[in-house]
Amino acid sequence: MTRRQPFGRALVAMITPFTPTGGPDLDGARKLAEQLVSEGCDGLVLNGTTGESPTTTDAEKTALVRAVREAVGDRVSIVAGVGTADTRHTVDLAASAEAAGADGLLVVAPYYSRPPQAAVEAHFRRVADATGIPLMLYDIPARTGTRIAPETMLRLSSHPRIVAVKDCAYDLLGSTKVLTGSPLAFYSGCEELNLPLYAVGGAGYVSTVANAAPRAMRAVLDAFDAGGTTEAAELNRRALPLTELMMASGLPGAVTAKALLTALGLPAGPVREPLQPADRGVAEALLAAHEELTR
């Protein structure tokens, strides 16, 4: 099977570390990025949902991309989240991310205004036309209120700079249709679908859990690529308890990821309001599940 993997295959949706007083911790971001690369991540997705993009400023987003690029050099891909509800604002953020050293752009469907599909398509084309680096469409209708319909993706795939999708639509049938009918590379954005999507030709994943367990997440794909489908399924099963605690416990992934990273002694810091920190019991449960997975 020939896979399209424009940004690599094992990508992490990296948190944005903050200082104890809530400011950006760029030194911490550099340290965490180095750690993630050393542990097997071949792509870093910055300023996404897990990166708390709704509560970071444009200047903070750009500074984060620049700092991480300085830390990791050209060893891995950097994809910068630039999606907003405003096309003009998104174009501006895209230009800043490109200038700061991003290799690609993560662009979510415009949210809140719930535009029809023709407007969604026009939005993505406008961003792609305004930049010189490739786009990863971010399909997460549970958050945006707007699906990027499979038919829209098929049309957008004709644009030379629209090359990938971060898939959080929970529609494996629709995703498979686009994957097999277009050159778009599909990255799972939901850990429980990492292996199923990969098995039907997906590019890999963009994982929140990989902030704390990058080797365990990558091992599933490594086993599958080596022909060990039974081993891949078992490794995937072993990761489920931590995945469920981090991604399906009723708390946002940014909250659980920062709680676990803090418990592991890695840069994280607080979340920004309106998010609230995980309580001590949640942090202890996360640490126990992490120890069980990585022992």
Q: pLDDT (tens digit, 9 = 90+) per residue, 118-150?
A: 999 999 999 999 999 999 999 999 999 999 999
Rounded to an integer, the average pLDDT of 185-191 is 98
Q: Which residue among the candidates 138, 187, 198, 205 is catalytic per the annotation?
A: 138
Q: pLDDT (tens digit, 9 = 90+) per residue, 91-115?
A: 999 999 999 999 999 999 999 999 9
According to the model, what pLDDT value does residue 257 have?
98
pLDDT band at 56 (very low <50, low <70, confident <90, very high): very high
Going through the chain in order, the beta strands assigned E by DSSP cover 10-13, 43-46, 77-81, 104-108, 135-139, 162-167, 185-188, 204-207
Cα–Cα dist 237/229, whole Å: 12
CB 275 within 8 A of CB 255: yes
pLDDT band at 189 (very low <50, low <70, confident <90, very high): very high
Q: Which residue among the candidates 166, 198, 205, 258 is catalytic per the annotation?
A: 166
pLDDT band at 174 (very low <50, low <70, confident <90, very high): very high
Q: What is the mean pLDDT of the chain?
A: 97
CB 79 within 8 A of CB 164: no
Which residue is it, tokens 């760029």? Answer: 26
In the predicted structure, residue 1 carries a pLDDT above the cut 80: no
* pTM of the predicted protein model: 0.98
Q: Report domain 10-226's class.
A: alpha beta
Q: pLDDT (tens digit, 9 = 90+) per residue, 242-285?
A: 999 999 999 999 999 999 999 999 999 999 999 999 999 999 99
According to the model, what pLDDT value does residue 2 have?
80
Rounded to an integer, the average pLDDT of 192-196 is 97
Residue 138 is among the residues annotated as catalytic for this protein = yes
Residue 198 is among the residues annotated as catalytic for this protein = no
